[in-house]
């Protein structure tokens, strides 16, 4: 039998300006939802699954929902780091800093290729071997606003910096959270750079981004650029960033085949890639009005549409273009229509109903689901409802993998000493077992107030187990088996 989940539909409208989009006249409808798809787990590691999860849909009927404190004509509040650079530079009226103030290890290198954009022309590479020992992790530490919600983007262009044909494969970790595996091989073979984007909550006044070797790392890790963009409160606000993060899978402007849409069109410099090749008939909407989307997509996304030509026609497409690993995803779809006619349709994702009788106009509609399980190829079908005089359309979409910030780092071949993690104030679970860690256990781990579970078994730790951990109320602490040189805890 199919697992049954429930969802709540939020229909929000309010003509008053407010900084809180939830502070509005809201109708709640609870409905059982039959989630009948079957999934096969894919590698690398998948997130923990739950048979019964809550699906949240947010239908934003756009009047003025909130006051936007970010000016559309000003650059985003951000920290831009040009890795490997030695001087500050101004690129597109935005200041990029050299990375020397944020990391003390690695080597600055200038690529031999010409005609590269300034941020791709230099890299910082990190030697795996140091004094005949293999290093595992290399960390940037940058200042941030505590509790700020940040878009973090890392960019990589290999340029043969390691004198190897193919770029290395390695991990990237944000504040102790395994973010993703960095594999730029296919992009580099096409002559393009690779970027990775995630959204994270700053737990303290600094944030770390680390490059770490894994079992596939055969040469020195490297990085070209790093960006930290402070986001407005309304963006992606259905996600509990205290307990999870978002990893970008795809962000597209449908019906568009130009260059990537970014700042200044997008005030937060998000990248909207074109989804315009081999599409059905495209139409354009030039007069739409979008003043209150919570995620603040750029107006340019709504100036092209992925549409069908006949009112009875289905709009069917695969999105994202690559298969997905079995996991939980945040989905946002954006619609607007300036024709003034009836355009009503239903939406299914992998043959599961996503929304019914969606009626769009020039004021725009946004649909959000923040806990939707997907696996493999994803097929989206927009089908016209009875009586609709126009066929379905779609303007834009975003999809993120929703990740647990406590994703375990056990059995990841980590080595070296355990760093000071006391700034991770929200950390509840830390699994570092089955690695190659050495040195003493930091007593500062006992200063993490919310820490409830700490697994350190099967490493090479030495010294005494700190009393700040052994006496910490409610802590599930495991240091054995393994760690043969670790003194037993004092009774």
Q: Where residue 172 falls among pLDDT bands split at 50, 70, 90? A: very high
CATH architecture for residues 78-230: Sandwich (2.60)
Helix (H) / strand (E) element for 186: namely helix 185-189
Distance CA 55, CA 51 (A): 12
Helix (H) / strand (E) element for 236: namely none
Please give the pLDDT value at position 286.
Answer: 61
Distance CA 84, CA 123 (A): 4
Q: Is residue 447 helix, strand or coil?
A: helix
CB 144 within 8 A of CB 377: no
Distance CA 381, CA 352 (A): 10
Q: pLDDT tens digits for 202-222?
A: 989 999 999 998 888 889 999
Residues forming a β-bridge with 82: 98, 225
- 338-346 average pLDDT score: 85
Please give the pLDDT value at position 278.
Answer: 57
CATH code for residues 415-487: 3.80.10.10
Residue 487 reports pLDDT greater than 80: yes
CB 237 within 8 A of CB 135: no
Please give the pLDDT value at position 36.
Answer: 26
Please give the pLDDT value at position 184.
Answer: 96
Cα first-last separation, the chain: 51
How do the domains of the chain map onto residue ranges?
Answer: 4-69+236-404, 78-230, 415-487
Residue 337 reports pLDDT greater than 60: yes
């Amino acid at each position: 039998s199919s697992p049954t989940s429930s969802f709540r539909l939020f229909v929000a409208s309010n003509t008053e300006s407010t900084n809180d989009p939830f502070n509005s006249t809201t109708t709640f409808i609870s409905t059982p939802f039959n989630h009948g798809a079957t999934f096969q787990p894919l590698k690398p590691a998948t997130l923990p699954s739950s048979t019964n999860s809550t699906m949240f849909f947010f239908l934003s009927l756009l009047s003025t929902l909130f006051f936007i404190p970010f000016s559309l004509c000003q650059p985003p509040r951000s920290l831009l780091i040009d890795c490997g650079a030695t001087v500050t530079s101004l690129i597109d009226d935005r200041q990029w800093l050299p990375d020397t103030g944020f990391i003390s290890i690695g080597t600055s290198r200038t690529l031999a290729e010409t005609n590269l954009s300034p941020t791709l022309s230099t890299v910082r590479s990190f030697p795996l071997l140091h004094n005949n020992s293999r290093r595992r992790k290399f960390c940037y530490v940058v200042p941030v606003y505590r509790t700020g919600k940040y878009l973090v983007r890392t960019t990589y262009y290999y340029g043969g910096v390691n004198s190897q044909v193919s770029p290395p494969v390695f991990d990237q970790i944000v504040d102790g959270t395994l973010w993703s595996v960095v594999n730029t091989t296919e992009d580099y073979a096409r002559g393009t750079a690779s970027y990775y984007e995630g959204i994270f909550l700053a737990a303290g006044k600094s944030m770390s981004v680390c490059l770490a070797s894994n079992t596939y790392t055969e040469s020195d890790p490297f990085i070209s650029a790093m960006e930290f963009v402070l986001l407005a409160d309304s963006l992606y606000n259905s996600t509990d960033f205290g307990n999870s993060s978002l990893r970008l899978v795809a962000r597209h402007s449908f019906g568009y085949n130009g260059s990537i849409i970014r700042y200044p069109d997008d005030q937060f410099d998000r990248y909207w890639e074109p989804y315009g090749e081999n599409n059905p008939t495209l139409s354009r909407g030039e007069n739409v009005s979008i003043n209150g989307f919570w995620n603040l997509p750029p107006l340019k996304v709504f100036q092209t549409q992925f549409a069908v030509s006949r009112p009875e026609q289905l709009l069917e497409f695969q999105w994202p273009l690559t298969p997905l690993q079995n996991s939980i995803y945040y989905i946002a779809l954006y619609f607007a229509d300036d024709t003034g006619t009836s355009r009503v349709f239903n939406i299914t994702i992998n043959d599961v109903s996503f929304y019914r009788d969606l009626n769009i106009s020039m004021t725009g509609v946004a649909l959000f689901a923040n806990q939707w399980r997907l696996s493999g190829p994803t097929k989206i079908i927009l089908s016209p409802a009875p009586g609709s005089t126009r066929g379905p359309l779609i303007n834009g979409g975003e999809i993120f993998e929703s990740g647990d910030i406590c994703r375990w780092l056990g059995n990841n071949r980590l080595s070296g000493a355990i760093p000071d993690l006391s700034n991770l104030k929200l950390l509840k679970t830390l699994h570092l077992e089955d690695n190659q860690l050495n040195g003493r256990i930091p007593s500062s781990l006992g200063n993490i107030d919310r820490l409830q579970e700490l697994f350190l078994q099967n490493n090479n730790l030495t010294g005494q187990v700190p009393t700040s951990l052994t006496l910490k109320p409610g802590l599930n602490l495991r240091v054995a088996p393994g760690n043969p040189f670790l003194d037993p805890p004092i009774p």
